[in-house]
A and B are shown apart, each in its own frame.
Chain A
Amino acid sequence: MFTSVIGALTSALPKYFIFGAYVPLLIFSFVNFGLAYVLSAAVRSAVQSAYAASAPLTIGIAFVGTVAAAYIVSSINDFLRRFLEGRFVGPEAVRRFLSDRQQLRRAARQTTNRKAIAQRLAYRSRRPGWTERLRVAANTGHAASPGRSSYDPVADPAAVALDGLRDALNRPLDIDAKTVDAVVNALVAALSVNDKLADAVLYRDHEQLLLMIDTILNAAIISENENTLYLNTYFGGAMPAPTRMGNVADAMQGYAISRYGMDLTLFLSRLQAILVKNDAKDYPIVLDAKTQLDFLIACTWFSAVTTLTWFVALIAMRGSPGVYVAVALAGPLVSWWFYLLATENYVAYALAVRACVDVNRFALLRALELPLPSTVHAELRLWSALSHAAATGTAIELSYEHTPK
């Protein structure tokens, strides 16, 4: 029944309307109606009498009502999204407080990132020295004591230091270069008086230390990459937005500005027009990501409104304590969960938009009958000038490059 209704609607109405507005509305209408029907005798009797009077009319009214409500939701979805982005946070003090909270999140990532960068630089600069000292010590030991070794694999200071390093390896970013320096010094001392070729354990310890240094260096590089990617994906402008979602939106915006000088708020709609006109293959990916984002944003709002409505209603009607507790506990968690999902989906949408900008920005310039820039810096200058002109209406001197029709 539900599948056939959705199928019929999909053929008659756009897919993004069905899944971005109608389906979430239908889900939450069902939940709210179900609760009202079970909890309120008045609702039960009204529905039963309406259904008894004319079942087709009742179903028809419900259907038209949900479609009309979904249309309203669809038309305000951008507003709802911008609200979650924190664009309408009123008092400046509240906005600043929330932004500072986001800054705390960012600062934590930045601290980890700085640590990883420092680690990478320290290890990359010292690694050749460590390797060389160990190699020289091994040669010295081989020359001084050929075929002999008194290396104690348990009590030797090098073995003890290596054991400590092995234990610390599950948190590689916490191992500073001085610690490794000490281990290298201990092993250099052991290698310079023993022949490692005559001692399998000493040989293994030498190889393992080199491997551990590489592991720590790689962990620093991976951490740096992860944190940089996270900061570029989840945070945009210099001043953080008041909400997580706002920062993801800023990151999307910041990408086009920092790479190309393009202001997406001005050129995204123009880019969409070009994509539709050219029947670009990547446009459906953007549209699908946007539809999923709209779906989750609608779910976030519906769950929040449902929670608040029933929270107040159950107190006002002195309703069931069981239902009240369930709504009061599950409602905010579900809303928060939908919000986090929507934020993650926003990242996917932003990545799709970024890809679209990367691939289609020259098509937009061609459509605007403007010459294509020959260098990266020329492109930055061009888009910056265009963005400024589009935003302020200032006339700029640019030569058109008309293509014959």
Chain B
Amino acid sequence: MKLRTFALEWFQVIVWSVWAIVVAGGLAIIATSGEPRVYLAAKPLPANHRLIEGDLAEAGWPYRFLVPGWRTRAAFVGRYLIRRIPSEGEVIEFGATSGAPSFPVNRSVLGWFSLAGLPVADVAGLDPGHRIEICNLTKGQCGDLLVEAVVCGATAGDCWAGIRLSNAQRDRLIAATTTKSPKPAIVVFTHGAGKHP
């Protein structure tokens, strides 16, 4: 009887509270399994490019309000573009990115150096735009070079750094190996240029 009296007097509060719980439940479903949010490219990007913060520009209102999904920018950073983004402002959809690109970027531009054997955390922290140290063990020379792209294979740790090399540099390199290092992402090669799988 007391419960009935309470329900009669607080009926509207109870109804709105139940509705709020239902709404929150629905929001949780959307939030946890929602389609990814889309982002705009801040600049033209090549296929297989690993995305960094600077590559992404958030869409403005009301597009941002209307597009489905709950994932934030962090969900995109570190993933690889399956398709080329030809111009700034184009939509990058989550479905157009991948964690394991199946083909490399233009070989004629980059020299590829395997990152296998490096600590996983070092590889994960390596992004396009970083600089890494490359040493020729035969000659004992080291150089600080710009990373143009990072691509990974399907297996864990099968990652490659794309580094722009001059033809002279390329000719001198015969092969590359990697070694663990106290400093992140130091690639050491002995001789020759690497081949991307």
Residues of A within 8 A of B (CB): 38-39, 97, 100-101, 104, 311, 314-315, 317-325, 328-329, 332
Contact = CB atoms under 8 A, between A and B. Distances in A.
A286 to B, nearest CB: 33
Contacts of A317: 68
A33 to B, nearest CB: 15
B68 A318 contact: yes
A98 to B, nearest CB: 9
A316 B67 CA distance: 15
B23 A318 contact: no
Given A101-B8, A315-B30, A322-B64, 8 more contacts: A104-B8, A104-B9, A311-B26, A314-B26, A318-B30, A318-B69, A320-B65, A321-B31
Interface of B: 4, 7-9, 11, 19, 23, 26-27, 29-31, 33-35, 64-70
Contact of B68 (A39, A97, A104): A39
A185 B60 CA distance: 74
A97 B70 CA distance: 41
A321 B8 contact: no
B69 A320 contact: yes
A382 B85 CA distance: 86
B23 A328 contact: yes
Contacts of A314: 26, 30
Interface centre among B19, B30, B66 (most CB of A within 10 A): B30
B35 A318 contact: yes
A339 B35 CA distance: 35
Given A97-B8, A314-B30, A315-B29, A320 B23 contact: no
Question: Looking at A101, A317, A324, A332, which has the most chain B CB atoms within 10 Å of its CB?
Answer: A324
Given A104-B8, A320-B69, A325 B27 contact: yes
Contact of A322 (B4, B7, B66): B66
22 contacts: A39-B66, A97-B8, A100-B8, A104-B9, A314-B26, A315-B26, A318-B35, A319-B30, A319-B34, A320-B67, A320-B68, A320-B69, A321-B27, A322-B64, A323-B65, A325-B23, A325-B27, A328-B19, A328-B23, A328-B27, A329-B23, A332-B19
A179 B152 CA distance: 89
Contacts of A100: 8
B68 A319 contact: yes
Interface of chain A, main secondary structure: helix
Contacts of A319: 30, 34, 68
Contacts of A322: 64-66
A321 B19 contact: no
A368 B69 CA distance: 68
Contacts of B69: 318, 320-321
Contacts of A329: 23
Nearest to A317: B68
A165 B8 CA distance: 37
A323 B29 CA distance: 14
Given A315-B30, A318-B33, A328-B23, A323 B66 contact: yes
A323 B33 CA distance: 16
Closest 5 CB pairs of A and B: A322-B65, A328-B23, A318-B34, A315-B26, A320-B68
Nearest to A98: B11
A36 to B, nearest CB: 12
A322 B27 CA distance: 10
A317 B34 CA distance: 8
Contact of B66 (A38, A101, A311): A38
Contacts of A101: 8, 11
